[in-house]
Amino acid sequence: MTEQPVAAVPERNDTLRLALNSLPHSMRRNNAELRKTYEELRNTWRPADAVPAPPAPAGTGASDGHDVSVALRALESHAAVLGATGNPLWTQLQDTRKATARMVHSVRAFTGDRIWHQHVERNAHWRRLWTDIAQQSTHAYARLAGELAGQLEREGHRETAGAVAALRELSRTAAERSAELGKLSRKNLPTPEASAVDREMRGIRRPDLGYGLGEAGRTQAAHGSRDIRQGLKMWADRSTVGRRLGKLKSPALIRMRNAWANLPSDDLREGPRDAAIRFGELVRRTHEVREEIRKGNLGTYSAKDIATLDSVIDAGFQHMKRLANTAPAGVATDARAYGSVEQAQDGNLKLAGQLLAWQRSTMGENLLTSRDKHVKDLRDAWRNLPDPPTEKDRKLGSYDRWRAAEKTAAFGRAAQALLKAQAEGSFSAADMAKLQAVANGAMSHAARMAKIPESLLPKDPAKNRTAVTEKSAQRVNAGLAQRAQVRAPVMPAQVRRTQSAKA
């Protein structure tokens, strides 16, 4: 194909230097960390140039970058299967994406919100830097994703069919975006819309946002669950470490297999937050097995074998985080969770008191018998509210708070809709305030029930994980071999006896 034009990024980091010099004078020093982050990003672009280029983009290329972001998020749901292949192209693609996000996040953290809005968002030097980064990164995405899709397609495994389609889509959209950015003049670059910038920044700051409610969110979550299951199966059936461990029965492996067998159904009948807890248990137990492997307690393996298992663990952790943050619509995901069933019961009583206060108001008395659609929806949601926790729930600590949260949030949304419909009505401000209190109380109560306590979810295993390299793996293997070697007993030297003086 004809090579797409690639904007030249100066070798001496002149683009970044000019951008940094546009900041207030006090911030032009002590930026070595930013320069290092930028150099790490550039180092992820160079290997991609050695990969064959994908076919020329067939579309118009008039993309605002949102379609590339959508393609990258769609590819996330196949991370476990792609990681289980052990293909280095997938690692390169992940490294480029992480380094790109890290660069933007590092600049935002370095400048702070005020300097970011005043000196970065609409600054021509920073626009040029972001444009160059976007073009180089999408150029790398297009090559790496296209070549990886081709290799997996030639292998012909059924489990990777969905991943191949997602890789093809990313390669296409990234190639179009890179080609479009290459045509732009670097002197008068357009300023991106504030809403688009905010959307991208939210995605960078919160990569573990939930899947969202509705059919689309459920479908995406189901694909993610199925992908983790398939990734584990591929690892167990095809990798060296997976096949060997299948014959062992250590306590860590038994706990991992039990967690695997307890995974939720792909259609998430149990609900996203119950599914998050089960996936969290799998992540925790699989990482325990990983640590046993690293220490050499389950045999000798290469660093690549361990890295393949790491990718499956990390994909499971990200899926768990997104499931845990899939809260009912309209509910804040940063709410503080109830610490006990007793607190949830108190929340139910508080909501019932707010509802009773509104019922006794003039507005409540007049509307409760109305045939208005919004009133009917409120009544239906009211009848559908879950039963409060019982004394048995309090003793056993068992209460389906996450299912209760979804029903309570539906009631809160119905109250909000009625409040909006009556905004121009004849009811007093005091009555409207009581209905507002019902809506706010329901959403707050739902948010606190929907939030999963941190104790039920594992911490990020990648943060404090001991890295495994070929050298460290060889050292462990050499130590095991040395300990396993059976040494022949050393016989003591014969004592030469001399005739005593007395004799």
pLDDT per residue as tens digits for the range 268-317: 777 888 899 999 999 999 999 999 998 888 888 888 888 889 999 999 99
Q: Please report the pLDDT score of residue 63 as a whole number.
A: 57
Q: How far separated are the first and last CA of the chain, in Å rounded?
A: 103
The pLDDT of residue 260 is: 94
**Distance separating alpha carbons of residues 144 and 51, to the nearest angstrom:** 7
State the pLDDT confidence band at 6, using cuts at 50, 70 and 90.
very low
Per-chain mean pLDDT for the chain: 83
What gap in Å lies between CA 95 and CA 499, rounded to an integer?
A: 80
What percentage of the chain exceeds 70 in pLDDT?
A: 86
Q: Of 309-318, 336-345, 376-385, which range is least confident?
A: 336-345
For residue range 421-451, list pLDDT tens digits in order: 988 878 899 999 999 999 999 999 999 998 8
Q: Model confidence at 400, in pLDDT bands (50, 70, 90)?
A: confident
Per residue, the 3-state secondary structure of 414-477, as one string, reads: HHHHHHHHCCCCCCCHHHHHHHHHHHHHHHHHHHHHHCCCHHHCCCCCCCCCCCCCHHHHHHHH
Average pLDDT (129-158) is: 91
Q: Above 70 in pLDDT, residue 236?
A: yes
Residues 308, 310, 313, CA angle at the centre, nearest 5°?
120
Summarised one tens digit per residue, pLDDT across range 102-115 is 998 889 888 888 88
List, in sequence order, every residue forming a beta bridge with 299; answer none if it has no partner: 297
pLDDT per residue over 173-188, tens digit each? Answer: 999 998 888 888 777 7
Lowest mean pLDDT among 58-62, 225-229, 382-386: 58-62
Most confident of 187-196, 197-206, 239-248: 239-248
**Are the C-beta atoms of residues 110 and 34 closer than 8 Å to each other?**
yes
Task: Give the 3-state secondary structure of 186-243.
Answer: CCCCCCCCHHHHHHHHHHHHCCCCCCCCHHHHHHHHHHHHHHHHHHHHHHHHHCHHHH
* Residue 249 CB neighbours (<10 A): 8
- Tokens found for residue 28: 């032009």
Taking residues 51-70, report their average pLDDT.
69
Whether 11 shows a pLDDT value over 50: the answer reads no
Phi and psi angles of residue 271, each rounded to the nearest 5 degrees, phi first: 95, 150
- Position 165 scores a pLDDT of 93
- 3 state DSSP class of 297: strand
| Token pair listed for 251 | 């306590």
Which of the residue ranges 22-31, 320-329, 439-448, 480-489 would you say has the lowest mean pLDDT? 480-489
pLDDT classification of 8: cutoffs 50, 70, 90:
very low
CA 17 – CA 257 distance, rounded (Å): 52
Q: Quick check: 358 and 437 in contact, CB under 8 A?
A: yes
Mean pLDDT of 396-400: 75
**Tokens 């009917």, residue located:** 376
Give the per-residue pLDDT at 223.
Answer: 86
pLDDT tier for residue 205 given thresholds of 50, 70 and 90: low
| Confidence category of residue 9, pLDDT binned at 50, 70, 90 | very low
116-126: per-residue pLDDT in tens? Answer: 888 888 888 88
Q: Which residue did the predictor score with more confidence, 490 or 283?
A: 283
Instruction: Return the top range by mean pLDDT from 54-58, 217-221, 372-376, 477-481.
Output: 372-376
For residues 135-149, give the mean pLDDT: 93
Q: Residue 173's closest CA among 276, 62, 262, 96?
A: 62
Instruction: State both tokens at 71.
Output: 């393609």
CA 345/CA 498 separation, integer angstroms: 93
